[in-house]
Amino acid sequence: MRVSEQLRQAVLEANLALAREGLARLTWGNVSALDRDSGLVVIKPSGVAYDRLKAEDLTVVALDGRTVEGRLRPSSDLPSHLELYRAWPQIGAVVHTHSVYATMFAQACRPIPCLGTTHADHFYGPVPVTRELTAVEIADRYEAHIGTCIVECFASHGLDPLRMPAVLAAMHGPFAWGSDASEAVHNAVALEATAQLALGTLQLAPEKQPIPACLHDKHFLRKHGAKAYYGQR
């Protein structure tokens, strides 16, 4: 079975969008998307510059990590993506970047607090940070353990990956996801903007506390709740 050219093109456009949005410098970032019917994942190849990336360069792999199509090695972050796909059947695409502001919070091992309504519009609660990996986890199957650590973080905090479509991998960088590649990139852009706003707010007002729960609920649910009224039908 082969993936559609439509999915391949969507993954190409999503990867190019990372560079265009300033989320991926050099080759620091990748987008993948999963065709649930075939169980095949399309992902950016490892170390290929964005200004040289073409649709035919993308690698297609099975959910067990086997390469199905492509002459180039898949992103080294592939095992992290696969762990998320296997754990969360409701997602269809994953983004990993080293965007500057979100990565600052990841390196500090600090969650991004909800300090204003821009954050509340996109993320239902503080954006979490995972625990640090152990030396054993780093030494063996490192990238897969990043993924399992993300899944563990959401399970231990009772988080819904659709209401919190992003996470900070401790000392590493941000991941985001969505129903498709375009939505996943959208969430990665929102995450970076949220991190930048939070850092600036904490610099201006170090003692600033998260916004009240009623305000957080109002902004998130008016966009994502059962009675959402933001935007057009």
pLDDT digits (tens, 9 = 90+) for 206-231: 999 999 999 999 999 998 888 888 88
CB atoms within 10 A of CB 137: 15
pLDDT at 79 (0 to 100): 97
Please list the active-site residues: 121, 230
113 secondary structure, DSSP code = -
Domain 5-224 class, CATH top level: alpha beta
Residue with tokens 């640090």, as numbered in its chain: 132
Q: How far apart are CA 106 and CA 129, in angstroms?
A: 7
- Confidence category of residue 13, pLDDT binned at 50, 70, 90: very high
- Confidence category of residue 127, pLDDT binned at 50, 70, 90: very high
| For range 88-114, the mean pLDDT | 98
Q: What is the pLDDT of residues 136-191, one digit of tens each?
A: 999 999 999 999 999 999 999 999 999 999 999 999 999 999 999 999 999 999 99
pLDDT at 204 (0 to 100): 98
Q: Which residues pair with 40 in a beta bridge?
A: 35, 62
Q: What is the pLDDT of residues 14-31, one digit of tens each?
A: 999 999 999 999 989 999
